[in-house]
């Protein structure tokens, strides 16, 4: 999703594009699908030079981006919620590998057709899925 699409969506919702919103969108684009918490986004921005955005501004921007459908919240109920860009692809779904110790989440894409070939459900048409796999990451083993 590009900044141009965000600008159009914000304009349609009668919101304006601010430097902070644009920066937060850029953080999610650069994350390449990685799930990020509010703190992750805030710390990423703080590490950049000349960016002194408050944590509350980051939270309000994330809330707005979630409300208008640019990002979505994923809550594992094991700590803070994480966020990701909304994907535009209907033929790919998510598999999340979640570390039970540190909470790190790694996202993988799995083709629905491949899933259909390994599941024994002949009487069900699979349209979409989300799969969470819990375990320990290499750092926590």
Q: What is the CATH number of the domain that holds 102?
A: 3.30.1490.190
- 122: Cβ–Cβ under 8 A, 6 or more apart, which residues? none
Q: What is the CATH number of the domain that holds 74?
A: 1.10.10.10
* Predicted confidence band of residue 60 (pLDDT cuts 50, 70, 90): very high
Ligand-binding site membership of 125 (annotated): no
Q: Are residues 102 and 80 in the same domain?
A: no
Q: Are residues 97 and 77 in the same domain?
A: no
Mean pLDDT of the chain: 77
Q: Are residues 64 and 125 in the same domain?
A: no
Ligand-binding site membership of 137 (annotated): yes
Instruction: Quote the domain boundaries for residue 120.
Output: 92-135
Distance between start and end Cα atoms, the chain = 36
What pTM value is reported for the model? Answer: 0.61
pLDDT of the residue at 124: 72
pLDDT tens for 93-130 read 567 787 888 777 777 777 667 766 777 766 777 766 67
Q: Are residues 42 and 16 in the same domain?
A: yes
Domain count, the chain: 2
Are 112 and 128 within 8 A, CB to CB?
yes
Q: How many helices (H) and strands (E) does the chain have?
A: 5, 6
Ligand-binding site membership of 140 (annotated): yes
pLDDT of the residue at 4: 66
Q: Are residues 78 and 104 in the same domain?
A: no
Element (H, E) at 29: helix 19-30
- 32: Cβ–Cβ under 8 A, 6 or more apart, which residues? none
Domain closes at, from 68, 85, 102: 85
Ligand-binding site membership of 139 (annotated): no
Q: Are residues 69 and 24 in the same domain?
A: yes
């Amino acid at each position: 999703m590009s900044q141009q699409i965000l600008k159009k969506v914000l304009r349609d919702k009668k919101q304006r594009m601010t430097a902070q919103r644009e920066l937060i969108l850029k953080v999610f684009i650069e994350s390449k699908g990685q799930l990020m918490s509010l703190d992750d986004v805030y710390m990423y921005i703080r590490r950049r030079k000349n960016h002194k955005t408050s944590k509350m501004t980051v939270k309000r921007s994330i809330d707005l981006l979630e409300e208008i459908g640019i990002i979505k919240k994923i809550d594992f109920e094991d700590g803070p919620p994480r966020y990701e860009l909304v994907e535009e692809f209907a033929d790919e779904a998510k598999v999340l590998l979640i570390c039970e110790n540190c909470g790190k989440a790694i996202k993988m894409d799995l083709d629905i057709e491949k899933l259909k070939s390994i599941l024994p459900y002949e009487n069900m048409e699979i349209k979409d899925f989300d799969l969470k796999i819990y375990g320990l990451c290499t750092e926590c083993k």
